[in-house]
């Protein structure tokens, strides 16, 4: 019988303290997202807003609140400013975070499954082992963010990830490969120029019209991804897995670097004329 969160708080504590790459351990199968721990809030919007405004003032008149471990799921927190705040281990599942600001915030090991972050700003935020499956991030700004979380099935249409780092953490593999997971994510028309995607999981991702200029795609998993009309100028495809990848046109491919060093190029799909 599967262990469920509602019956085993010690289990979830262990999973949160010692997270793995979600692709390798599939955390969600151990978690009951409908349990009170994962689906309710211990604070009201007014209380969260008051805490943010009462937080100690830092440089440039910015405040940094401590919301570590707080249960804030299914709460309307749209438009609030969490800049620089600590939300490590916080639960924000299915919360409305439209237009909220999380610039430089710490969201490590936080839960934002099915959260709505449309047009939110997470510039330079820390998203280590963060669970963001199916999150809505259309038009969101994640530029310069450090991401080793799971965004499988997330919608990032038109999102900004310029200079973001989703590469694998090669120094911390005791609990599995820690990397950005964008499996089956929708990244159409997103801007990932200059992003570090080394060993990131982009399998089956929608990358049509996506800007991947100057990206580091070393060892990235692009199996089954759709790169129709993607900009690959200067993108490094060394050892990238192109199994069943739908490639862009010849002109775009000619601007990529080390295409000849990609894996399974012979198994990639070419656009039809």
Q: What is the mean pLDDT of residues 75-104?
A: 97
Beta bridge pairs of residue 201 = 181, 221
Q: What is the mean pLDDT of the chain?
A: 89
Lookup result for tokens 């090669």: 170
The average pLDDT across 202-217 equals 98
pLDDT band at 173 (very low <50, low <70, confident <90, very high): low
Q: How does residue 207 score in pLDDT terms, banded at 50, 70 and 90? A: very high
Who wins on pLDDT, 256 or 6?
256
pLDDT band at 59 (very low <50, low <70, confident <90, very high): low
pLDDT at 177: 64
Report percent pLDDT > 70 for the chain.
Answer: 85
Question: What is the reported pLDDT for 211?
Answer: 98
User: Which pLDDT score is estimated for 1?
Assistant: 34
- pLDDT band at residue 174 under the 50/70/90 scheme: very low
**How much is the average pLDDT of 122-151?**
97
Q: What is the 3-state secondary structure (H, E, C) of the chain?
A: CCCCHHHCHHHHHHHHHCCCCHHHHCHHHHCCCCCHHHHCECCCHHHHHHHHHHCCECHHHCECCECCCCEECCCECCCCECCCCECCCCECCCCECCCCECCCCECCCCECCCCECCCCECCCCEECCCECCCCECCCCECCCCEECCECCCCECCCCECCCCECCCCCCCCCCCCCCCECCCCECCCCECCCCECCCCECCCCECCCCECCCCECCCCECCCCECCCCECCCCECCCCECCCCECCCHHHHHCCECHHHCECHHHCECCCC
Q: How far is CA 88 from the centre of its chain?
A: 15
For the entire predicted model, the pTM comes to 0.87
pLDDT beyond 50 at 7: no
């Amino acid at each position: 019988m599967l262990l469920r969160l509602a019956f085993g708080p010690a289990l979830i504590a262990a999973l949160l303290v010692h997270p793995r790459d979600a692709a390798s351990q599939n955390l969600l199968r151990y978690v009951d997202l409908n349990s009170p721990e994962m689906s309710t809030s211990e604070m009201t919007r007014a209380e969260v807003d008051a805490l943010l405004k009462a937080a100690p003032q830092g440089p440039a008149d910015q405040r940094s609140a401590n919301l570590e471990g707080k249960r804030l799921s299914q709460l309307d927190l749209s438009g609030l400013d969490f800049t620089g705040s600590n939300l490590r281990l916080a639960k924000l599942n299915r919360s409305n975070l439209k237009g909220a600001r999380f610039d430089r915030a710490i969201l490590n090991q936080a839960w934002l499954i099915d959260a709505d972050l449309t047009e939110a700003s997470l510039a330079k935020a820390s998203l280590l082992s963060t669970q963001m499956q199916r999150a809505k991030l259309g038009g969101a700004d994640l530029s310069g963010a450090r991401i080793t979380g799971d965004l499988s099935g997330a919608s990032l249409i038109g999102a900004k990830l310029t200079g973001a780092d989703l590469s694998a953490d090669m120094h911390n593999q005791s609990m599995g490969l820690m990397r950005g997971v964008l499996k089956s994510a929708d990244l159409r028309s997103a801007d990932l120029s200059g992003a570090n995607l080394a060993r990131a999981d982009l399998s089956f991702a929608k990358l049509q019209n996506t800007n991947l200029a100057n990206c580091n795609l070393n060892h990235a998993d692009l199996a089954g991804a759709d790169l129709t009309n993607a900009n690959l100028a200067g993108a490094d495809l060394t050892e990238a897995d192109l199994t069943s990848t739908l490639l862009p046109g010849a002109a775009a491919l000619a601007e990529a670097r080390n295409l000849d060093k990609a894996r399974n190029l012979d198994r990639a799909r070419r656009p039809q004329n």
